[in-house]
Amino acid sequence: MSAADRTASTPAAAAARRYPGPDPARSMRALVLRECRRVTRLWTQTILAPVVSSALFILVFGLSLGSRIKEINGFDYDVFIVPGLIAMAMAQAAFSNNSSSLLQARNDRYINDVLASPMQPWRMNLGYMLGGVFRSLTIGVSLGVIALPLTGVPIEQPVHLIVATLLLVVLFSALGVVVGIYAQSFDHHSFINNILILPLTFLGGVFYSIEILPSPWQELSHANPIFYMVDAIRYGFLGASDVNVGLAFGFTGLVAIAMVAWAQWLFQTGRKLKP
């Protein structure tokens, strides 16, 4: 028997085959599955409620105001507002999902199990972000299935729409991770959502074109970061935008990269995560 055969037949080698050791990829899959199950088990709150509320916005604003506001930038009013409402619903879902998940994990101390796993920090970051991406895309697709046949919204630029959607959900998923790590209570999570994200979304051109605004409100709208994200989504649907398409996509991409890098830094350093 050769030396290699004798080594392979030792008790240590047999134990290594029986217990192959930690698998970071398997740990990340378990984390992603847990986050997705968290969404599906509470689907009436996590999916149904946002879809119903956004659908009501479309019905109330689109059908009621559509008879008074004939067109905006050459599109029927109900067609014009659908892309912004879908973007708003996806952004809020991605943020709320991850911020509440990380906050709960820290408060209940089961974040320690994630930190003690063999996952690298980037796998932890990706695992949590995919939970928010899953929830937001589920809501976006559901709203599209309802709104597109109802209003006749076209999809003029499908590739741009896919890119803009991915940038949006990744950005707000990463933002949710950051806020969930820093927040000390659910009041902090609600404050960011209700006082910062929601008002900026409503003022980001969801229900109107900023071209109809007088000065200085039109110039101030260009300082709203969510305006560029909504505009990128609208371009994917309608093929028209209020600003240069490259600027909208470039700005959204830069903010998304910055948020992902911030979340990665928090997992890499363990800041606010480790006791």
Greater model confidence, 217 or 225: 225
The residue whose two tokens read 């350093």 is: 269
What local confidence, expressed as pLDDT, does residue 202 receive?
A: 82
User: For residues 62 and 81, is the Cβ–Cβ distance under 8 A?
Assistant: yes
Flag whether pLDDT at 4 surpasses 50: no
What local confidence, expressed as pLDDT, does residue 72 receive?
A: 83
Give the pLDDT band (50/70/90) at residue 220: confident
**pLDDT tens, 84-123?**
999 999 999 999 999 999 999 998 888 988 888 889 999 9
**pLDDT tens, 167-178?**
999 999 999 999
Flag whether pLDDT at 229 surpasses 60: yes
What local confidence, expressed as pLDDT, does residue 57 receive?
A: 85
| Percent above pLDDT 90 for the chain | 50
What local confidence, expressed as pLDDT, does residue 134 receive?
A: 96
User: Which tokens in the block code for residue 124?
Assistant: 């932890």
**pLDDT tens, 127-140?**
999 999 999 999 99
Q: Locate the domains of the chain by residue range.
A: 25-269
Flag whether pLDDT at 76 surpasses 90: no
Cα gap 2→13, rounded to integer Å: 15
Long-range contacts of 202-208, Cβ-Cβ distance < 8 Å, separation of 24 or more? 203/227, 204/84, 204/229, 204/230, 205/84, 205/230, 205/231, 205/234, 205/242, 206/81, 206/84, 206/85, 206/87, 206/88, 206/230, 207/61, 207/81, 207/84, 208/72
Flag whether pLDDT at 54 surpasses 60: yes
Rounded average pLDDT over 44-61 = 89
Give the pLDDT band (50/70/90) at residue 66: low
Give the pLDDT band (50/70/90) at residue 8: very low
For the chain, give the mean pLDDT.
86
What local confidence, expressed as pLDDT, does residue 132 receive?
A: 94
Flag whether pLDDT at 126 surpasses 50: yes
Flag whether pLDDT at 227 surpasses 70: yes
User: For residues 153 and 82, is the Cβ–Cβ distance under 8 A?
Assistant: yes
